[in-house]
A and B are shown apart, each in its own frame.
Chain A
Amino acid sequence: MESLSNRRKVIESKPLNFLERAYLPAIAQGLAITMKHFFRKPVTISYPEEKREFSENFRGMHSLKRDENGKERCTACGLCALSCPAEAITMIAAERQKGEEHLYREEKYAAVYEINMLRCIFCGLCEEACPKEAIYLDGDIVPADYLRKDFIYGKDKLVEAPLNQ
C-alpha cells in the first residue's frame, strides 16, 4: 500500500559495509543536517509580547452575548447547565422588573450565572445547546490564578461589554 506521507523507508538489516562501520560519513551527514537547521528561521513565539493566533474553531473562555440593542440574550433556560458534562455551569433565574427592558431581552434572565473554570472541559456543548445564541467559547485562554475560588467566573467576567462603551 502507498504510504500516506510518502516518507516510509524500508529498513534493511544487512551487515554494514566498511564506510558505514567507519561511522565518519554518517557523522558528516549528521553535521550537514544540523547545519541546515542553523540557518533556518526560529519558530519561537516570544509569548508575552507576541501571541500565537488561534485557529477559528479554538474554544477559549466563555462569553455571554448581548443582542444588537445591547440587551442580554440569556434567558436562564438552563439548557447549557443541563448539557454540561462536567457540571460546571450554575445559574439562578430572576423575573424582569418594569424599567429593565433595556437590560434583558425576555421576561426571564439570569440573576446569577457562574461557570467553574476548574471543572469546565471546554467541550463546547453549552454553545451547541443554547437556543438563544447567548453563550460562545470565543474568548482567550483562561488566565492562571492563585486561589480556587477565583476560578468561579460570575457575570462580571462573562458578560460582554455593553454596546455604548
Chain B
Amino acid sequence: MGLADIAIKFALIIIIFLISLVIAMYSTYAERKIAAFFQDRIGPNRAGPWGILQPLADGGKMFLKEEIIPTNASPFLFIAGPSLAILTACIGSAVIPWGQTIIIGTHVVPLQVTDINVGILYIFGVVSLGVYGVMIGGWASNNKYSLLGAIRAASQNISYEISMGLSIIALLMVTGTLSLKEIAEQQHGWHWNVLYQPVGFLLFIICAFAETNRTPFDLPECETELVGGYHTEYSSMKLGFYLFAEYINMFISSAVMATLYWGGYNYPGMDWVLAHTGPTIAPLLGVVVMFAKVFLFIFFFMWVRWTIPRFRYDQLMDLGWKILIPLAIANIIVTGVWITFIK
C-alpha cells in the first residue's frame, strides 16, 4: 500500500465522517420541516432562505448555553456518556459500501472505508456499544429519573438487539457471507434481498426503530413519565451530542438497511449505464442511488414518527420478546427449509 493509497483512504474517511455529520445536522432540519408538512404547517423558515441555516443556529445556541454538571455527579463519566454515544454512532459508517470501485489516475479506489469480512458483526458490535453511552450518562447524572430512563433504554436496546440479530441470521443463510461489500454485490440486477427476505426486513426495520430510539419506541426519552429520560441532567452541547448521536444512528441504520435489503448501490439498468458511459459515471450514479435509498429510509423514520403513537413499556417488551423473537426464529426455520429443499 503506497503513500497515495493511504492518502486516498484518509480522504475517504474524512469525507464519510463529514457527510454523516452534515446529514445528521440536516436531519434535524428535515425532521422539523417534515413534521411541519405532516401537520399542515410551514416549519422553520426564518434563518436563511426556507430556513436552511436553522441547524447552524441551533448548533450555535447549543454551544453557547450554560454547561451544568450536577454537584454529586462524577464529572468524568458525565462527560464520557455523550462522548461514547456520538463516538459509537460515528464509527459504524466505516464498513458500509457507498459504491463500487472508481478509478482515480492509476489507483483503484473502493468507495468503502474498509471491507472487513465480518462487516455485519462489526456493525452489531458498535451498535451495542452505543448502549454504554446512554447507560453511563444516566448513571453518572446521580438522578433517579435519569437512571430509570437509562435502564429503560438499555433493556429496550438489548431486547431488540436479540431479534435484530436473529432476523439477520436468515439473511446470512441466503447470502452466505458477513461482508457488506459482498452482500451488496450479490444483489446486482434485481436480486434484492428484500424480495427473498420480506419478513426478515420487516423485523429488521422494526428493530432498527427500537435501536435508534425513534417513535414509536422512543421510551428512553419519555418526557411525560421520566422528566427527560436518561439525559435529564444534561445541558448545552452534551445534550446536543446525545440528540446528534440519535440522528447519526438513524443515518447509519438507514444505510445498513439499504445495503442489506434494498440492493445498496445497485440500481436497475446498471450494466447498460456502465457499458455506455465508462467506468466512472456508473459507480458515481450508484453512490447517488445509495444516498437516495438512505434518504428514503430517513424520510420513512420521520413519516412513522407522525403516524404511530408511542408504545407503553410492557407492550414494548411484549412485542420484542413474545412476537419478534419467535417470528425471527420461524423465519430462520422457513428460510432453512427453503434453502435445503427448494433452492
Query: A residues near B, CB below 8 A?
Result: 24, 27, 30-31, 33-35, 37-38, 40-44, 46
* Residue in A31, A34, A44 whose beta carbon sits within 8 Å of that of B41 in the complex: A44
A41 & B38 in contact (Cβ 8 Å cutoff): no
The residue on B at minimum CB distance from A34 is B307
Residues of chain B within 8 A (CB-CB) of A31 are 303-304, 307
Check A46/B40 contact, CB under 8 A, given A34-B303, A34-B306: no
Chain A proximity of B27: nearest CB distance (Å): 17
Cα distance A80–B240 in the bound complex, in angstroms = 58
CB distance from A30 to the nearest CB of B (A): 4
Report, nearest first, the 9 A-B pairs whose CB atoms are least far apart. A30-B307, A44-B42, A34-B307, A42-B42, A43-B40, A38-B37, A34-B306, A44-B41, A31-B307
Which B residues lie within 8 Å of A37 (CB)?
A: 37-40
**Which residues B33-66 have CB closer than 8 A to chain A?**
34, 36-42, 45
- Interface assignment of B1: CB less than 8 Å from any CB of chain A: no
B38 touches A38 (CB 8 A): yes
Q: A44-B42, A46-B42 are in contact. Are A33 and B37 (CB under 8 A)?
A: no
Instruction: Decide if A27 touches B308 in the complex (CB within 8 Å).
Output: yes
User: CB-CB < 8 A to B36: which residues of A?
Assistant: 42
B199 CB to nearest chain A CB (Å): 11
Contact B38 A34 (CB under 8 A): yes
Assembly CA distance A13 to B122 (angstroms): 48
**Within the complex, what minimum Cβ distance (angstroms) separates B111 from chain A?**
32
- Report how far A128 CA is from B42 CA in the complex, Å: 41
Closest-CB distance, A47 to chain B (whole angstroms): 12
Alpha-carbon gap, A49 to B232, bound state (A): 37
A42–B40 Cα gap in the complex (Å)?
A: 4
When distances are taken between beta carbons in the complex, the residues of chain A under 8 Å from B34 are 38
Residues of B at the A interface (CB closer than 8 Å) are 34, 36-42, 45, 202, 303-304, 306-308
16 contacts between A and B (CB under 8 A): A24-B202, A27-B307, A34-B38, A34-B303, A35-B303, A37-B37, A37-B38, A37-B40, A38-B37, A40-B40, A42-B37, A42-B40, A43-B40, A43-B41, A44-B42, A46-B45
Contacts of B39 in A (CB 8 A): 37
Measured between beta carbons, the chain B residues less than 8 angstroms from A30 are 307-308
* Shortest distance between the CB of A22 and any CB in chain B (Å): 10
Residues of A with C-beta under 8 A to B38: 34, 37-38
A47–B75 CA distance with the chains assembled, in angstroms: 45
Can you add 7 more A-B contacts, CB < 8 Å, to A33-B307, A37-B38, A40-B40? A24-B202, A27-B307, A27-B308, A34-B306, A42-B37, A42-B40, A43-B41
CB-defined contacts of B306 to chain A, threshold 8 Å:
34
Tell me which residues across on chain A come within 8 A of B42, comparing CB atoms. Answer: 42, 44, 46
A44 CA to B34 CA, complexed, in Å: 15
Give Cα A37–Cα B308 distance, bound, in whole angstroms. Answer: 15
State in angstroms the CA–CA spacing of A114 and B38 once bound together: 48
In the bound complex, CA of A30 to CA of B39 (Å): 14
A129 to chain B, nearest CB (A): 43
Report chain A residues within 8 Å CB of B307: 27, 30-31, 33-34
Give the residues in chain B near A46, CB-CB below 8 Å. 42, 45
Min CB–CB distance B203 → chain A (angstroms):
12
Q: Please, how many angstroms separate the alpha-carbon atoms of A19 and B264 in the complex?
A: 32
Complex Cα distance A35/B40, Å? 11
Q: How far, in angstroms, from A27 to B202 measured CA to CA in the complex? A: 13
For A41, list chain B residues within 8 Å (CB): 40
Cα–Cα, bound, A23→B200 (Å): 17
Known contacts: A27-B308, A30-B308. The answer to whether A42 contacts B41 by CB under 8 A is yes
Which residues on B sit within 8 Å (CB–CB) of A34? 38, 303, 306-307
CA distance A44 to B307 in the complex (A): 21
Bound-state CA distance A129–B127 (Å) is: 74
Q: How far is the CB of A27 from chain B (nearest CB, A)?
A: 6
Most chain B beta-carbon contacts within 10 A, residue among A37, A38, A40: A38
Which residues does chain B contribute within 8 Å of A38, judged by CB atoms? 34, 37-38, 303
Most chain A CB neighbours (cut-off 10 Å) among B34, B41, B307: B307
CA distance A144 to B38 in the complex (A): 32
| Closest A residue by C-beta to B299 | A38
Distance between A114 CB and nearest chain B CB, rounded to angstroms? 39
CB nearest neighbor in B for A32: B307
How far apart sit A35 and B308, CA to CA, in the bound complex (Å)? 13
Contacts of B202 in A (CB 8 A): 24
When chains A and B are docked, how far (Å) is the Cα of A139 from the Cα of B42? 29
Residues on A with C-beta less than 8 A from B40 are 37, 40-44
